[in-house]
Chain A
Amino acid sequence: MSFLPAPLEPVRPALLTRLSPTTRLVVGTAWLAVAVIAAGPRVSFALSLVAVVLLVIASGLPLERVPTRLAPLWLAALGLGLLTVLVNPSNGDPTVVALVRAGPLRVTGPALEAGIAIALRLVVIALVSLLVFATSDPTRLADALVQQWRVPYRFAYGTLAALRIVPLLAADWAAITAVHRLRGLQRRSPWGRAAEIGGSLLVLLVSAIRRAERMALAMDARGFDTGRPRGVYRPVALRALDAAALVVGLAIAVAALVLAAI
């Protein structure tokens, strides 16, 4: 049993979970590109509004857990936004009207707008990534990439196998730090601490390589990557629904660009 929090995954069937992962990947990438290209908070605000609506009605994700699981991102958005407001050069420009004035602090309209834009951009990135990646498991994404985009299966399923090793390495790391603490080996000086962490990483690397070797041997024994044509157990179809989602999704991206231009 693990003390790691459970991953965020759909708890009921929903519109987005029925789409092919590649469809979501295309639309999501387009939206992120628009959010990054388009300056100003309006586009980011519009896209996050759309993303929130999709999250609520079409993602199947357990909504009550989303705010807490993304807490670090909310904090990052808030912090980055504030920082952008404070360091904006227009604050020092006397020709621009100040909205806030407190002692040496002076905040102008353009500075506030830039801060909100940055914060909202991060929110869009977080929400869209959630909608693209959390609405189906990694297996289905790998299946879709192999079947629809001809990504080499060696790479796609090799990555899936590697993902299984990650929690084991987390447990190894916990064991390493535990033993160091109990043996009184933890050092206090920054230099000593760096050396200690370096040594631990080396031990972790040895463990990771051994685990990867064993996994590779087990996969070889089961006939992985012998050059034969591979069977398909989980076909991922592109359906009319995907075509519709592509059209609507890309239309929203274009509309957002237009919104940025006017």
Chain B
Amino acid sequence: MSAGTPSGSGISPDPEPVGAGTGRRAAPEIVAEGFGWTYRGRPRPSLAGCTFRVPPGRVLLVMGPSGSGKSTLARALTGLVPHELPGTWTGTLRVGELDVASTPAQVVSGEAGIVFQEPESQLVMPRVEDEVAFGLENRGWDRAAMQRRVPEALEAVGLAGFERRSTAGLSGGEQQRLAIADVLAPMPGLLVLDEPTANLDPPGMERVFERLAALAAARERTMVIVEHRLDAALPLADLVLVLDATGRQLAFGAPDEVAGRHVAALERMGSWIPRAWHGRSASEDAVPGGEPAAAAPATGGSASVVGARPVPASTSDARRASDGRPADPVLVIEGATLRYPESTGGASRPALLDVRVELRAGERVALVGPNGSGKSTLLFAAAGLRRLEAGRVRVGDGTRPPDADPARLPARRLARSLGLVFQNPELGFVGRTCAAEVAASLVALGSLPDPADPRVRAALEAFGLELLADEDPFRISEGEQRRLGIVAVSIARPPVLLLDEPTFALDRRGAGAVVALLDGLRGEGQAQLMATHDPRLVPACDRVVALDAGRVVFDGPPQVFLADPPYRPAAPWRDTGTPAAPRTDRASRAAPAGVPA
């Protein structure tokens, strides 16, 4: 690792330029004038009328609801739009001296590096050091320079010593930091991050933001960050660009100015709002629509959800039937134990170790834990899809106590006992229209899968999806897909619904609509077990089960979990935002000179 690393920030000073054309690029200014973009085949622009200026070395945070063109802007800044993706360009966008529209992609990508949302879709090579070297090889660096630069880039993201590790064996957070090292390695002047922490568990997210804070403090490059996790991202931002749902620029300026003028508009649009802007506490700032557990009515369309003040979560006392007794259990997992297969040179470690979870009717339980702690394995085991080495799983069908092993149930009875919705609901879709998608599940009730069945329309209407009945399930928005997936399995009335990251990558409006839908189903007595990384979802649950290395380390009310999470460090699980690296020049940065308001 390079000598002279400043303690604390962990950032190595980048070396002088090495070899021709391989040196550090100066941090560029970004200037947009009436910039817009329409993807080929889309009826309306993804981005329109963007006019802003980011001085060299500053950090721009781009925020807005889903579909507001945030990713399009990120792609344009690195030349992928318009050079790799087809569409129509309007206005001008300049990165330093380069006019993006008329400069070859390889020149723009030499100035600007981009980190995408999914770690697994951007890592190319099987080994860590080769992965970092990949971008340098592409740019024709000589070997000695690469050998110097690779460890430096790894050190800059806190992965020093990981050179020989397998990229597939890293955690999601480590993979994402590796992706940042990849784009830092060629020393671009502009670093663009397109929702870099969306896929990460809370500690992974915190590590990434720590590194981003240190990179921002170094002031060696201009940075543009697109994020939903605003509480962590806002402290890094010198400037904020707000886009509305149609891709138009709503506001641009220093964070304090934008906060003062536009909070109400942001809330109306369904965007997430940084807590610092509305002054709510962590437990209040839940996903909207998280009603208390006591029989919530089936609140349907998003209109009833948007802007609703989140209601503080219920205590587990509320989880009782009307006569005061606890509700009946509908899913019982006892002593569940399972090991991963032995890997070369390593002992097999437990995926689940003596896990006991009980789910009662009308109860929503958050299943939390770091990546690899056994959440997905437990969901699969609960559905009878993964054979346990020890322990057992029992489900009921709503009319009798849980006495059936889901692995042995006949197909239709299983569908009436358990529902499962994955993070990517597309993987389960079989219908050509949304109505047909819901109707497909009618076979579990012994009916024909007829999209005209009155129960299909009733279900779509009850949950605000009636306008989508004739749409192709593959062409609706991600939030709508997630809701459709839930409605489609719930029409078979399973007393237990298993969900994997139900609010993943959704904006406030989308997440609120999903939770409102789940509230309605819970009000009818459905029990819900949801694996999630999003602390904002936790207050909307009745109970939290926390896993660590395959064991249950906590089982209790969400308030208790959030007050003292059973993980070290605990802070990321509270979603209190991320402590930024020391920033001595914060005051001088609050209002950069010459910024158009």
Contact = CB atoms under 8 A, between A and B. Distances in A.
A189 B59 CA distance: 60
Contact of B126 (A139, A183, A184): A139
Interface in B317-343: 340-343
6 A-B pairs closest in CB distance: A179-B428, A184-B415, A218-B122, A184-B444, A223-B138, A233-B133
A222 B428 contact: no
Contact of A160 (B121, B124, B415, B444): B124
Nearest to B133: A233
A9 interface: yes
B182 A6 contact: no
A126 to B, nearest CB: 20
Contact of B415 (A163, A183, A211): A183
B412 A184 contact: yes
B429 A203 contact: yes
Interface in A1-58: 1-9, 11
A79 B443 CA distance: 42
Interface stretch (B6-14, B87-95, B107-115): B107-115
A225 B83 CA distance: 14
A224 B414 contact: no
A214 B122 contact: yes
A89 interface: no
Given A164-B120, A181-B385, A231-B140, A222 B444 contact: no
A79 to B, nearest CB: 26
Contacts of A221: 78, 80, 109, 113-114, 183
Contacts of A7: 344
A235 interface: yes
Interface residues of A, number: 59
B146 A138 contact: no
Interface stretch (B418-426, B458-466, B539-547): B418-426
B280 to A, nearest CB: 35
B127 A139 contact: yes
A152 interface: no
A230 B420 CA distance: 47
A185 B130 contact: no
B133 A183 contact: no
Nearest to A211: B121
Given A6-B343, A232-B137, A164 B124 contact: yes
Nearest to A216: B84
Contacts of A65: 344
Contact of A161 (B124, B137, B383): B124
Contacts of B341: 3-6
Contacts of B415: 182-184
Interface stretch (A112-120, A168-176, A237-245): A168-176
Contacts of A9: 344
6 contacts: A157-B134, A179-B422, A207-B426, A222-B134, A223-B109, A231-B137
A167 B427 CA distance: 15
B142 interface: yes
Nearest to A222: B135
A92 interface: no
B63 to A, nearest CB: 22
B455 interface: no
A207 B422 CA distance: 14
A150 interface: no
Nearest to B104: A226
Contacts of B412: 184
A100 interface: no
A215 interface: yes
B141 interface: yes
B101 interface: no
A229 interface: yes
Nearest to B19: A231
A228 B137 CA distance: 10
A109 interface: no
A108 to B, nearest CB: 45
Contact of B427 (A176, A215, A234): A176
Given A183-B440, A183-B492, 11 more contacts: A1-B351, A161-B124, A164-B124, A175-B424, A179-B422, A181-B411, A215-B122, A220-B80, A222-B134, A222-B182, A228-B106
B126 A164 contact: yes
Interface in B160-198: 167-168, 182-183, 186
Contacts of A235: 143
B474 interface: yes
B105 interface: yes
Nearest to A215: B121
B118 interface: yes
A81 to B, nearest CB: 30
Interface in B408-465: 411-412, 414-416, 418-420, 422, 424, 426-430, 440-441, 443-444
